[in-house]
Amino acid sequence: MLSIIIPTLNEEKYLPRVLESIKKQQFSDFEIIVADAGSADRTVEIAKSNGCKVVPGGLPGAGRNKGAKAAMGDLLLFLDADTISFPPNFFRFLLEEFTEKKLDAASCPICAQGNKLDELIYKGYDFWIRLTQKFSPYSTNVVMVKKEAFQKVGGFDETVKIAEDVDLIRRISKIGKTGFLRTSSVLISVRRFKKDGRFKTIFKCSLVGIYINLFGPVRSDIFKYRFNHYEEINDKSSRNEN
């Protein structure tokens, strides 16, 4: 079984899209686990109404770990809630290539729901991942991993503030085989570009990459990366907790 794990925080706008796309897959041996970090909107209601298993979440690393702990499958697929859509045969192709290459963990190409410039930026990022995969593994925000390998490295490091998926891939690469799948790509939102601006986002991500390569995982708030991206939603969530 494939266990699909989605960490959420106030994702009522995006979650229905990814769930609808999952339901259209030409593949049925899966479960969906939503690890929710205390949403103040209809996220949990939407997840439950779509047959998802809902567990308490946290910031991305913690939420993904809690989702993995509840997973029944021997393969884990981690997605972000703002994943827009997949091709109908995405899961089948992904599993076939993952199995054929005898991988323990892998990522796959992503494409942008934006204009030509956004598409070019994401194609450039995919090219960079392929180029550096053998000596400096990176990942997109779509990560598949064998549960056995995931457990062997202790799951996501919850002290990592940003790029915890890259950290996971790199740790698994030391005890197993990792790769970058090519059979199919995933359409994702460019909401971070729209909110913070393309070049500011690219600049920050580039700094994060340099920092990781020079100093290792980011365990401080130096880059001030927001989980669900929107300050106003975070503010609303904080007010509801008080």
| pLDDT per residue as tens, the chain (242 positions) | 999 999 999 999 999 999 999 999 989 999 999 999 999 999 999 999 999 999 999 878 999 999 999 999 999 999 999 888 888 899 999 999 999 999 999 998 887 766 777 778 777 777 777 777 777 777 778 999 999 999 999 999 999 988 899 999 999 999 999 998 987 788 877 766 667 777 787 788 778 888 888 888 888 888 765 544 443 434 443 344 44
| Pairwise CA distance, residues 36 & 66, whole Å | 10
Handedness of CA 184, 133, 1, 188 (dihedral sign): negative
The beta-carbon contacts of 224-230 under 8 Å, at least 24 apart in sequence, are 225/161, 225/162, 227/7, 227/9, 227/37, 227/59, 227/60, 228/8, 228/9, 228/10, 228/11, 229/191, 229/192, 229/195, 230/10, 230/195
Q: What is the pLDDT of residue 194?
A: 66
DSSP assigned state of 218: B
Structure tokens belonging to residue 46: 């939407």
SS3 131: helix
Q: What is the pLDDT of residue 61?
A: 92
Domain 2-241 indexed as CATH 3.30.70.20: no
- Domain extent listing, the chain: 2-241
